[in-house]
């Protein structure tokens, strides 16, 4: 990236290598990072994004992750839970996008992303 740029992540925390980002902020190569998603989530107390700052003390624009609290998101969650329960009790196969663990193994594509 260009020196002095800001990174604004509106996607997923896992698309950014946390240590590399913190180093680029801390040494002043990047002017800052803004996002509302952590990887992993919840972030541990020693997560490098909690303390990263440019040499002048700025550059950290992390905010609380709140997208799941909107009314639209709550309606989607409720519909998804209803679909999962309906499929379970009627013996239908689950939508693969909704399955995280099967037979004691992670089967979600999100598992195994950068840690």
Q: What is the pLDDT of residues 10-59, one digit of tens each?
A: 888 889 999 999 999 999 999 999 988 888 878 899 999 999 999 999 99
Given this model, what pLDDT does residue 97 score? 85
Cα–Cα distance, 24 to 22 (Å, whole number) = 5
Domain for residue 112, yes or no?
A: no
Residues 58-109 have pLDDT tens digits of 999 888 777 677 899 899 999 999 999 999 999 999 998 888 888 888 887 6
More confident residue, 108 or 112: 108
Indicate whether 76 and 96 sit together in one domain: yes
Cα–Cα distance, 97 to 75 (Å, whole number) = 18
Domain for residue 114, yes or no?
A: no
Domain for residue 95, yes or no?
A: yes
With H, G, I as helix, E, B as strand and everything else as coil, classify residue 86: helix
Indicate whether 36 and 15 sit together in one domain: yes
Cα–Cα distance, 41 to 24 (Å, whole number) = 22
Given this model, what pLDDT does residue 114 score? 40
Given this model, what pLDDT does residue 101 score? 87
Indicate whether 87 and 58 sit together in one domain: no
Place of tokens 């839970």: 81
Indicate whether 74 and 55 sit together in one domain: no
Whether the CA torsion 36, 43, 66, 71 is positive or negative: it is positive
Contact between 17 and 43 under an 8 Å Cβ cutoff? The reply is no
């Amino acid at each position: 990236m260009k020196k002095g740029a800001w990174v604004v992540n509106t996607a997923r925390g896992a698309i950014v290598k946390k240590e590399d980002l913190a180093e680029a902020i801390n040494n002043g190569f990047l002017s800052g990072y803004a996002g509302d998603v952590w990887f992993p989530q919840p972030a541990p107390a020693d997560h490098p994004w909690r303390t990263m700052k440019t040499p002048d003390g700025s550059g950290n624009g992390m905010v609380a992750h709140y997208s799941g609290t909107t009314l639209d998101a709550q309606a989607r969650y409720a519909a998804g839970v209803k679909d999962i329960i309906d499929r379970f009790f009627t013996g239908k196969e689950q939508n693969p996008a909704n399955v995280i663990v099967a037979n004691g193994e992670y089967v979600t594509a999100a598992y195994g992303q950068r840690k």
